[in-house]
Amino acid sequence: MDTQVKFAAVLPAGGLGKRMGGGIPKQLLPLRGKSVYRHSLETFLNIPEIVEVVLVVPEDWKSHFQEELVSGCGIAENLLQKIRIVGGGKERWESVRNGVNALAGDISYVLVHDVARPFLSETLIREVFAMLQTKGACLVARPVADTVKVVENGAVTETLDRSKIWLAQTPQSCLVSVLKELYAQIENAPLGFVPTDEASILEHFNVPVYVVKGEPNNDKLTTPEDFARFTGSLFH
């Protein structure tokens, strides 16, 4: 790997996770002995090639995250120094933009990963590293196993070719310079849609996005039933 190449991670943790229920953001719920966001955060922190991690959190919860990460959290001091905490935006893509714009100027590539996907592996991250250095932009995704139907008004109207259908995961990754340029273009000419992920922005501007095959353990936590899959018991 080119020693001049520097990777960083932006971890959007700005959503309130209303579908999970409860009175706190889902990224702060306990999972296997620590807050949800800590799992993916620590995975990225422990990879030497990741030189910076920007955690993007709800503005009203910034102090909570800051206190949790400095008061006996068990993360080594040299790793804590990699972390920067910034406030999120109204939409997910705006939170990511805040995180990307907070990165140090010498970062080559950014990996954007949802903290609600707590169990991604180092192997998967390294596959993303490799794809980035050959293709420039990629996302993690899984091919669908089921037949996919288009339904309108309660009736099937079409069956899609499932060999072409993939379920997007994260990280979604790109050259930092490319993302910053696209954000500047959006500032001057706002999009006519709300991007649901980084890939949709890249696609809109005709930037090719390549696929790294994802993992079942990298699925997203959205509902209490999702917690049950990873812990064996429903969250209450």
Range of the domain at 89: 7-231
Task: List CB contacts of 81: < 8 A, sequence separation 6 or more.
Answer: none
Assigned domain for 97 exists: yes
CATH number reported for the structural domain that contains residue 67 in this entry: 3.90.550.10
Task: Judge whether 54 lies within some domain.
Answer: yes
1 lies in some domain: no
Digit-coded pLDDT (tens) for 31-58? 888 889 999 999 999 999 999 999 999 8
State pLDDT tens for residues 122-135: 999 999 999 999 99
Instruction: Give the model confidence (pLDDT) of 150-168 as tens digits.
Output: 999 999 999 999 999 999 9
Looking at the structure of the chain, the number of domains it has is 1
Which residue matches tokens 């799992």? 39
For residue 22, name the pLDDT band (cuts at 50, 70, 90).
Answer: low
Coil, strand or helix at 84: strand
Rounded to whole angstroms, the Cα distance separating 151 from 153 reads 7
